[in-house]
Amino acid sequence: MDRIYRRQRHVYDLSRKYYLLGRDRLIEGLAPPPGGRVLEVGCGTARNLIALAHRHPDVPLFGIDLSREMLDTARRRLDREGLAGRVRLAHADATRFDPALLFGVPAFSRILFSYTLSMIPEWERALAQSVQWLQPDGELHIVDFGGQERLPGWFRGSLRQWLAMFHVTPRDGLESALARLPAAIEVRTFDRPRRGYAQYAVCRRLPA
């Protein structure tokens, strides 16, 4: 990850805003409850966390990432925004993290994945790990590349070849993987906006 992002991190947000579609929808729909905690898995440059900090000034925010280079950029951005004390970051693997060890907190009311599952080889394990740390009535929000099933075949093929250059693989089995999560996790929303370009999901942990 550090090798991939050592240079990309400097232009990441500027270049990605044209094709990482649906991130703002995720932020708008997150709606953390009063007193809730929010975790972003694969927080990158902290773009989403900064937007959430401005939108929800009283909500504690947390982010983890496997790339130390991206975390360095994220911390610099948070400092510039005056948010270093509001957003806590940690270096961690999405498939085996423990928030009690990283942050001293037991669980979260919201956990989000924004175009990160498509970069995690063991992405189903990352999902299973994350839902462990949802508190009762907490929600998991996901946006990522979809199957592009309603787009022209030439576009789908070209997009996937280009994404593969950056070690990105759309998770065509996401809907099925969510259905295999523990029974306490309810899939509330799943759709494929923009003719399948993206996929968007919201899951909820049922009250105990």
- pTM of the entire predicted model: 0.89
Instruction: Among 14-28, 121-135, 136-150, name the one with the lowest average pLDDT.
Output: 14-28
User: Is the pLDDT reported for residue 145 higher than 50?
Assistant: yes
What integer pLDDT is reported at residue 5 of this predicted model? 47
The secondary structure of the chain, three-state, reads: CHHHHHHHCCCHHHHHCCCCCCHHHHHHHHCCCCCCCEEEECCCCCHHHHHHHHHCCCCCEEEEECCHHHHHHHHHHHHHHCCCCCEEEEECCCCCCCHHHHHCCCCEEEEEEECCHHHCCCHHHHHHHHHCCEEEEEEEEEEEECCCCCCCHHHHHHHHHHHHCCCCCCCCCHHHHHHCCCCCEEEEEEECHHHHCEEEEEEEECCC
Instruction: Among 3-7, 85-89, 168-172, 195-199, name the one with the lowest average pLDDT.
Output: 3-7
Q: Which of 65-74, 89-98, 186-195 has the highest mean pLDDT?
A: 89-98
Instruction: Among 28-42, 59-73, 150-164, 183-197, name the one with the lowest average pLDDT.
Output: 150-164
Mean pLDDT in the chain? Answer: 90
With cut-offs at 50, 70 and 90, classify the pLDDT of residue 18: very low
What integer pLDDT is reported at residue 3 of this predicted model? 54
With cut-offs at 50, 70 and 90, classify the pLDDT of residue 100: very high
- Percent of the chain having pLDDT more than 70? 90
Say yes or no: domain 2-205 is CATH 1.10.630.10: no
Domain extent listing, the chain: 2-205
With cut-offs at 50, 70 and 90, classify the pLDDT of residue 153: confident
With cut-offs at 50, 70 and 90, classify the pLDDT of residue 9: very low
Q: Mean of the pLDDT values across residues 157-169?
A: 88
